[in-house]
């Protein structure tokens, strides 16, 4: 830091320069992100509450009330309007917190999750000295239930099912996990992405699997408003069936006002009103429209993938579509040089498009000829 403060205009110029180096959703090249441009209501609310800090909730009773309302709205979306929980910094924090609670409540060490689970579960195991027990996948890339049943034991602290896997967007058979766990073994569902998609797909008439508190065995659910919820970053949420789960991690620091029952101390809280405003303004109809439009583009993208000779490992179940590649790393690198930010998967080896609201038909039409060229050059088609 300089001894003397720099000129404000000079600093702003520097910021503008940095901003211009970033990629922006509106520019159309981002095909691999699970976030999107937040809803205008989220942006307005976020800047209005920029001072809020729910780490010291007694100073922000208004923001705290909005957080309670957000949890109630998310709970009712996930078939439990009496759910407990809090807004987090995202799916990673929610998943780590869920395993923290499971560890506290059960005093056990093993965490059973599918190979397709988000890497936050490995982070959580590392942090808390838990033992990961990975379960293989069936031909549709879902957790193998027979293997899970074999490996769930009296050492299990938590079983994890995923509703909308990060790579392929498929959902594990959570109904079967719920039966196996039978309200005795802690069952956590990671619906970070699928939580704002599956309920609306169901309303649109798609055949969707049950994955949430409707299933008796489900103890906690991760759902991210900053993904398909259209809220401002960072906004995740962890929802819990029982109050005692929240109590198991509660602290009442003497120097602060109120209780903390989460990993963060001071926490970004502006995204709480951001989430509240977005959910209120959009309503179920608004989200259904967004999901419908993302699915239309998803099917269009998968059709265009097939037209240029690419194969899909699975038909899309939500707005994620992958195409098999012999060398996805090389393809992603070459597309990156042309300004296309698509991602890749490990198992199976694919390029992966996440069809968020900023990915329009026009974006697909601009992308496919470039992809075709790169795939031809590299012998993929
Ligand atoms: C299924 C799933 N869970 C958890 C996460 C982690 O979310 P975050 O990046 O918000 O921490 C992701 C992120 O892509 C995800 O897809």
Q: Convert the pLDDT of each residue in 105-135 to its tens digit.
A: 999 999 999 999 999 999 999 999 999 999 9
pLDDT at position 257, please?
A: 84
Three-state DSSP class for 126?
Answer: helix
- At residue 43, the pLDDT reads 97
CA atoms within 13 A on the CB side of 18: 6
What's the CATH code of the domain at 153?
A: 3.40.640.10
Are 223 and 263 contained in the same domain? yes
Q: Are residues 190 and 308 in the same domain?
A: no
pLDDT category at 258 given cuts 50, 70, 90 is confident
pLDDT tens per residue across span 335-344: 999 999 999 9
Atom 14 of ligand 1: nearest residue by CA position: 166
Q: Are residues 123 and 236 in the same domain?
A: yes
Task: Indicate if 251 and 123 belong to the same structural domain.
Answer: yes
Q: Is the CB of residue 91 below 6 angstroms from any atom belonging to ligand 1? A: yes
| Domain-terminating residue out of 223, 257, 280 | 280
Same domain, 69 and 121: yes
Interval 8-21: pLDDT, tens: 999 999 999 999 99
222 shares its domain with 249: yes
Structural domain includes residue 16: no
Mean pLDDT of 268-279: 97
Query: Per-residue confidence at 80, pLDDT binned at 50, 70, 90?
Result: very high
Write down which residue in 262, 280, 298 finishes a domain. Answer: 280
289 CB-near residues (< 8 Å, 6+ apart): none
Confidence tier at 81 by pLDDT (50, 70, 90): very high
Q: How far is Cα 295 from Cα 37, in angstroms, rounded to an integer?
A: 18
Q: Is the per-residue pLDDT at 260 higher than 90?
A: no
The answer to whether the CB of 305 is under 6 A from ligand 1 is no
As a whole number, the mean pLDDT across the chain is: 97
Q: Do 192 and 142 lie in a common domain? A: yes
Structural contact between residues 201 and 318, judged by C-beta atoms closer than 8 angstroms: yes
Statement to judge: residues 208 and 105 lie in one domain: yes
Residue 367: band (very low, low, confident or very high) from pLDDT cuts 50, 70, 90: very high
pLDDT in tens, 141-167: 999 999 999 999 999 999 999 999 999
User: How many Å from the N-terminal Cα to the C-terminal Cα in the chain?
Assistant: 53
- Note the maximum CA span of the chain: 66
**Domain identity same for 46 and 27:** no
- CA-CA-CA-CA torsion sign (67, 73, 77, 81): positive
User: CA 329 to CA 350: how far, in whole Å?
Assistant: 9
Domain that holds residue 330: 23-38+284-377
Q: Both 133 and 213 in a single domain?
A: yes
Domain shared by 217 and 296, yes or no: no
Ligand 1 pocket test, pick from 120, 190, 227, 318 with the greatest ligand atom count within 8 Å of Cβ, gives 120
pLDDT band, residue 253 (cuts 50/70/90): confident
Does ligand 1 lie within 6 Å of residue 34's CB atom? yes
Are both 133 and 226 inside the same structural domain? yes
Tokens of 251: 């602290």
Number of domains making up the chain: 2
Looking at residue 282, its pLDDT comes to: 98
Inside any domain, residue 3: no
């Amino acid at each position: 830091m300089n001894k003397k403060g720099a000129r404000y205009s000079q600093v702003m110029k520097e910021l503008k320069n940095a901003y211009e180096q970033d990629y922006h959703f509106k520019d159309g090249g981002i095909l691999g992100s699970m976030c999107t441009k937040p809803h205008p209501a989220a942006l307005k609310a976020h800047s209005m509450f920029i001072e809020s800090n729910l780490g010291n909730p007694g100073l922000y009773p208004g923001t705290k009330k909005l957080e309670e309302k957000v949890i109630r709205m998310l709970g009712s979306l996930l078939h439990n309007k009496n759910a407990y929980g809090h807004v987090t910094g995202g799916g990673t924090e929610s998943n780590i917190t869920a395993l923290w609670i499971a560890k506290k409540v059960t005093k056990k060490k093993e965490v059973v999750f599918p190979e397709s689970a988000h890497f936050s579960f490995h982070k959580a195991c590392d942090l808390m000295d838990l033992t990961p027990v990975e379960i293989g996948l069936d031909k549709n890339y879902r957790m193998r239930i027979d293997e899970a049943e074999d490996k769930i034991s009296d050492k299990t602290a938590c079983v994890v099912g995923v509703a909308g896997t990060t790579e392929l967007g498929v959902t594990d058979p959570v109904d079967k996990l719920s039966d196996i766990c039978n309200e005795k073994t802690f069952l956590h569902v990671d619906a970070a992405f699928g939580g704002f998609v599956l309920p609306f797909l169901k309303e649109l008439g798609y055949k969707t699997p049950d994955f949430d508190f409707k299933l008796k065995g489900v103890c906690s659910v991760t759902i991210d408003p900053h993904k398909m919820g259209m809220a401002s970053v960072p906004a995740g949420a962890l929802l819990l069936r029982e109050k005692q789960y929240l109590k198991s991690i509660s602290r009442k620091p003497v120097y602060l006002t109120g209780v903390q029952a989460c990993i963060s101390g001071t926490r970004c809280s502006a995204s709480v009103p951001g989430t509240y405003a977005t959910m209120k303004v959009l309503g179920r109809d608004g989200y259904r429209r967004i999901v419908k439009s993302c699915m239309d583009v998803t099917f269009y993208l998968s059709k265009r993938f097939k037209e240029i000779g690419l194969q899909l490992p699975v038909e899309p179940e939500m707005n994620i579509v992958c195409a098999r590649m012999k060398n996805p790393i090389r393809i992603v690198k070459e597309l990156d040089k042309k300004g296309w930010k698509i991602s890749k998967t490990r198992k199976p080896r694919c390029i992966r498009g996440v069809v968020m609201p900023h990915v329009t038909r026009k974006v697909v039409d601009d992308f496919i000829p470039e992809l075709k060229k790169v795939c031809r050059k590299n012998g993929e088609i």
